[in-house]
């Protein structure tokens, strides 16, 4: 089969298509012929060498995608050859064929396309646990969403609005501001270089004393997020796209009765039942048009280097998917 591989860490130029051995079918797993593959920042971090990679080169990136079951291993129940399935956490997805452990397989409804599944699973499951578990958003609350034009950001806006919350987005440009507004944000501010968005966010809140919760995926903005939420407010930290977060003095948490919560998807989807339950909720919202997914930017898998450059340029909004 063909796969997008790299043999050394570096920039997008290290990526290239190569002929590699087909994955081996083992008990408890299936082989999926890929139809769409999600690109995520974690893939860029792995390509750069920021994240640990097991095994030896050539390495194959990718952890998210959707396709058709081609083989079913011994002991697998409820999955048949020809089924349409997706997954959010199976390695080596940047290939024509992928071996997926059966406990990570998510069945796709007929009205969900492969491209939609590859666009929503990882980011959608992330947004779902953030608004339901990390901080259960309630009607009438005021929510701050960082990187509001990104894939997770747009989903957070919609899920919070569906719960009856007021949502304030943060973006880095006017074009991205419009994307966040189109996703349903009540208002969107630009980051700027002077940090004035913090006072503007406080003024935007009904009581002018700050918001209930901030979802921070930027990292370097963590202290600003605390300044933007009210006393007894919460900050959910789940990413560091803008750099490492500053150290937090726990005395600050005590002085303001604030809460800092960390978020990682893999602590919340530990079973196949949990994956399917959360994915089914997302698919139902999509079917009822309560959750709109921006049409993903598509690249041929062989153009993986170009796709990585595009994502790293920070010009992208929404999702990028590969088509094998």
Region 13-34: what's the mean pLDDT?
97
Range with lowest mean pLDDT among 184-198, 230-244, 308-322: 308-322
In a domain, 179, yes or no: yes
| Per-residue pLDDT at 55 | 84
Confidence of residue 56 (pLDDT cuts 50, 70, 90): confident
Strand runs (DSSP E) across the chain, as ranges? 2-6, 16-19, 29-39, 59-60, 64-72, 84-87, 97-101, 106-107, 142-145, 166-171, 187-190, 211-216, 229-237, 259-262, 297-300, 320-323
Q: How many domains does the chain divide into? A: 2
pLDDT at 266 over 80: yes
| Preceding amide of 179 cis, omega within 30 | no
Q: How confident is the model at residue 195 (pLDDT cuts 50, 70, 90)?
A: confident
DSSP string computed for 43-100: HHHHHHTSS---S-SSEE---EEEEEEEEE-TT--S--TT-EEEESS-S--SBSEEEE
> Residue 224: which residues within 8 A CB-CB, separation 6 or more?
195, 197, 198
What letter does residue 134 receive in the DSSP assignment? I
pLDDT band at 295 (very low <50, low <70, confident <90, very high): confident
Structure-derived torsion over alpha carbons of residues 302, 303, 307, 312, reported in degrees to the nearest 10: 100
In a domain, 216, yes or no: yes
Domain boundary (262, 292, 313) is at 262
Judge whether 81 lies within some domain: yes
Domain identity same for 182 and 282: no
3-state secondary structure of 169: strand
Strand order in the sheet with 187-190: 187-190, 166-171, 142-145, 211-216, 229-237, 259-262
145 with 250, same domain?
A: yes
Same domain for 112 and 20: yes
Tokens 């339950």 -> residue: 277
Domain boundary among 212, 241, 262: 262
What is the mean predicted confidence (pLDDT) over 291-313? 93
The per-residue pLDDT of the chain, averaged, comes to 95
Structure pTM? 0.92
Q: CA 285, 290, 295, 297: dihedral to nearest 10 degrees?
A: -70
The DSSP symbol for 302 reads G
Q: Residue 193 pLDDT > 80, yes or no? A: no
Residues 292 and 229 in one domain: no
Helix axes 114-129 and 272-287, enclosed angle (nearest 10): 110
Task: Kindly state the tokens that stand for 277.
Answer: 């339950």
Tell the residue number behind the tokens 């002018």, with chain if given: 208
- In a domain? residue 80: yes
Note whether 193 and 152 are same-domain residues: yes
Q: Are residues 20 and 92 in the same domain?
A: yes
pLDDT-derived band at 41, boundaries 50, 70, 90: confident
What average pLDDT does this structure show over 29-37?
98
CATH number at residue 26: 3.90.180.10
Q: Is the pLDDT of residue 243 over 90?
A: no
CATH code for the domain in which residue 196 is found? 3.40.50.720
Distance CA 145, CA 221 (A): 12
The parent domain of residue 154 ranges over 139-262
3-state secondary structure of 228: helix
**Are 153 and 106 members of one domain?**
no
Q: What are phi and psi of 19, to 5 degrees?
A: -85, 125
Q: What is the mean predicted confidence (pLDDT) over 52-64?
A: 90
- Cβ(105)–Cβ(79) below 8 Å: yes
Check pLDDT > 90 for residue 164. Answer: yes
Residues 99, 174 within the same domain: no
Confidence (pLDDT) at 138: 98
Question: What is the arithmetic mean of pLDDT over 114-124?
Answer: 96
Instruction: Tell me, yes or no, whether 99 and 115 share the same domain.
Output: yes
Task: Please tell me whether residues 249 and 304 are part of one structural domain.
Answer: no
* Residue after which a domain boundary falls, among 219, 246, 262: 262
The DSSP-derived string for 190-209 is E--SS-THHHHHHHHSTTSS
What average pLDDT score do residues 50-68 get?
A: 91
Q: Does residue 111 form part of some domain?
A: yes
Q: What pLDDT band is residue 50 in, cutting at 50, 70 and 90?
A: confident
């Amino acid at each position: 089969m063909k796969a997008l591989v790299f043999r050394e860490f570096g920039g997008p130029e290290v990526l290239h298509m190569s002929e590699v051995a087909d994955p081996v079918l083992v008990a408890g797993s299936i082989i999926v012929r890929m139809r769409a593959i999600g690109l995520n920042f974690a893939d860029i971090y792995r390509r750069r060498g920021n994240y640990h990679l097991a095994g030896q080169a050539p390495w194959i990136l990718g952890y998210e995608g959707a396709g058709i079951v081609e083989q079913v291993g011994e002991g697998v129940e409820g999955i048949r050859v020809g089924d349409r399935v997706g997954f959010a956490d199976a390695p080596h997805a940047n290939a024509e064929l992928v071996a997926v452990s059966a406990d990570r397989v998510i069945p796709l409804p007929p009205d969900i396309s492969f491209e939609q599944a590859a666009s929503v699973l990882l980011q959608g499951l992330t947004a779902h646990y953030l608004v339901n578990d990390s901080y259960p958003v309630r009607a009438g609350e005021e929510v701050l969403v960082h990187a509001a034009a990104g894939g997770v950001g747009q989903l957070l806006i919609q899920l919070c609005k569906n719960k009856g919350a007021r949502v304030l987005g943060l973006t880095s440009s006017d074009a991205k501001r419009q994307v966040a507004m189109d996703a349903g944000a009540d208002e969107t501010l630009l980051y700027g270089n002077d940090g004035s968005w913090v006072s503007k966010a406080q003024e935007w809140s009904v009581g002018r004393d700050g918001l209930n919760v901030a979802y921070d995926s930027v990292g370097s903005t963590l202290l600003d997020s605390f300044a933007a939420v009210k006393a007894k407010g919460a900050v959910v930290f789940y990413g560091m796209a803008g750099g490492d977060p500053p150290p937090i003095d726990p005395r600050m948490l005590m002085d303001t009765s604030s809460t800092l919560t960390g978020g990682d998807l893999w602590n919340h989807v530990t079973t196949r039942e949990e994956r399917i339950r959360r994915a089914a909720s997302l698919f139902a919202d999509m079917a009822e048009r309560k959750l709109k997914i921006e049409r993903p930017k598509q690249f041929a898998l062989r153009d993986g280097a170009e796709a990585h450059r595009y994502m790293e340029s920070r010009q992208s909004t929404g999702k990028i998917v590969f088509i094998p």
